[in-house]
Amino acid sequence: MSDVARLAGVSIKTVSRVVNDEPAVHPETADRVIAAIEQLGFRRNLGARNLRRGSSSGTLGLIVEDVGNPFYSELSRAVERVATSYGRQVLTGSSDENRDRERELALEFCARRVDGMLIVPAGMQHGYLVPEMRAGTPVVFLDRPAGDIVADTVLVDNIGGTVEAVTHLANHGHRRIAFLADSPDIFTAGERLKGFREGCARAGIPYDERFVVMQTPSEENVGAAVRHLLQGPGAATAVVAGNNRVTVHLLRALAHTDTRPAVVGFDDFELADLLDPPVTVIAHNVSALGEAAAELLFARVHGDQSTPRKVVLPVRLVPRGSGEVPPE
């Protein structure tokens, strides 16, 4: 600031007033200060300023599994829209489904004095957040709950959605329905497996472990699952895919076979309606998930001291063609 003051021919106090948008600075003087700032490339240290004032940092922390996944990209944009309406910016990081990385990011955001955090948890141990929460940093979990602490949580109806998927396939004549999903230790995958089992029971279909494959979705893993589940005598005639990544890998694997099972995917995805056949999905409003979590967080930021809440958002079946394929 002393360099800016020297170049503009004013005092450091005048520079401070201009930088902080304080009144009582003559417009011509302010213009000289702004020109000097631009010439020298000066930037305010907002963290230091807010630390001195004891005020809001103007930022939120958001931790997702993978910001490159379209699901989390849409979620992030929804959080940003709400944050912007409250005059905040969002710091975002990807945990890569690694609990140590999640902890590292969360504590780094706390060290930067974020006003609150939104977390899609990668693990089930969140005791490390208790000191931060007691110190006044609110935390909201979304898409999955915290493991060992009580905190605000926003979810979608994972069980009900998968029940609806199985029911839909059964209503179209399928009795051998496979379930292909992410690792069972992930909350959403576990809940959707519960829904699959419940859906089978409601439809009068025996639950068969041979038709269930749960593992980290990759092209190789899903390709092997297709060969295991959908080929040979007694193969499944329909598949419930546990999330958008599983569905995409499944469709890619099926493109290299003559097998044409009915498919219902959990989570919608871009261009699903343009494929042949268009993909039937269990859809939910990803933006609504992010917005609900962000609004809940800002309620805490603004002093809401009520007991932690659990919000479950609805899902809906979108029939497009792939889920209506009859059994061969």
Rounded Cα–Cα distance for residues 319 and 76 (Å): 27
Nearest to 199 by CA among 213, 215, 212, 186: 212
Residue 52's pLDDT is 45
Q: Do 278 and 297 fall within a single domain?
A: no
Radius of gyration of the chain (CA): 25
The three-class DSSP label of residue 51 is helix
Residue 13's pLDDT is 80
Q: Do 267 and 180 fall within a single domain?
A: yes
Q: Do 134 and 237 fall within a single domain?
A: no
Rounded Cα–Cα distance for residues 198 and 90 (Å): 39
Q: Which helix (H) or strand (E) holds 242?
A: none
Q: Do 96 and 190 fall within a single domain?
A: no
Q: Do 76 and 187 fall within a single domain?
A: no
Residue 49's pLDDT is 47
Q: Do 184 and 261 fall within a single domain?
A: yes
Q: Do 18 and 166 fall within a single domain?
A: no
| Domain limit, last residue, from 243, 261, 283 | 283
Q: At what angle do helices 70-85 and 286-301 cross, to 10 degrees?
A: 40
Rounded Cα–Cα distance for residues 67 and 271 (Å): 19
Q: Do 127 and 167 fall within a single domain?
A: no
| 326 part of a folded domain | no
Residue with token string 């902080």: 20
Q: Do 62 and 205 fall within a single domain?
A: no
Contact in structure between 63 and 105 (CB atoms under 8 Å): yes
The DSSP line for 155-197 is EE-HHHHHHHHHHHHHHTT--SEEEEES-TTSHHHHHHHHHHH
What is the 8-class DSSP label of residue 255?
Answer: T
| 75 part of a folded domain | yes
| 300 part of a folded domain | yes
Q: Do 72 and 147 fall within a single domain?
A: yes
| 211 part of a folded domain | yes
| 322 part of a folded domain | no
| 262 part of a folded domain | yes
Residue 115, sorted as left (phi over 0), alpha (psi -120 to 50) or beta, turns out to be alpha
Residue ranges in the chain assigned as alpha helix (H)? 2-8, 12-19, 27-40, 46-53, 70-85, 99-111, 130-134, 158-171, 187-203, 219-230, 244-254, 286-301
The number of folded domains in the chain is 3
Q: Do 141 and 233 fall within a single domain?
A: no
Rounded Cα–Cα distance for residues 157 and 170 (Å): 20
Q: Do 104 and 146 fall within a single domain?
A: yes
Residue 145, sorted as left (phi over 0), alpha (psi -120 to 50) or beta, turns out to be beta
Q: Full-prediction pTM beyond 0.85? A: no
Question: Please, what are the averages of pLDDT over each run of 10 residues along the chain (328 residues)?
Answer: 82 78 79 80 53 65 93 95 95 94 93 94 91 92 93 97 98 97 93 98 95 94 93 93 96 92 96 95 96 97 95 97 94
The CATH number of residue 178's host domain is 3.40.50.2300
* Residues in the chain, total: 328
Rounded Cα–Cα distance for residues 253 and 248 (Å): 9
| 73 part of a folded domain | yes
The CATH number of residue 28's host domain is 1.10.260.40
Rounded Cα–Cα distance for residues 282 and 218 (Å): 21
| 226 part of a folded domain | yes
Residue 17's pLDDT is 79
Print the domain residue range for 23: 2-44
> How many angstroms from the chain centroid is the CA of residue 167?
27
Contact in structure between 61 and 34 (CB atoms under 8 Å): no
Q: At what angle do helices 187-203 and 158-171 cross, to 10 degrees?
A: 40
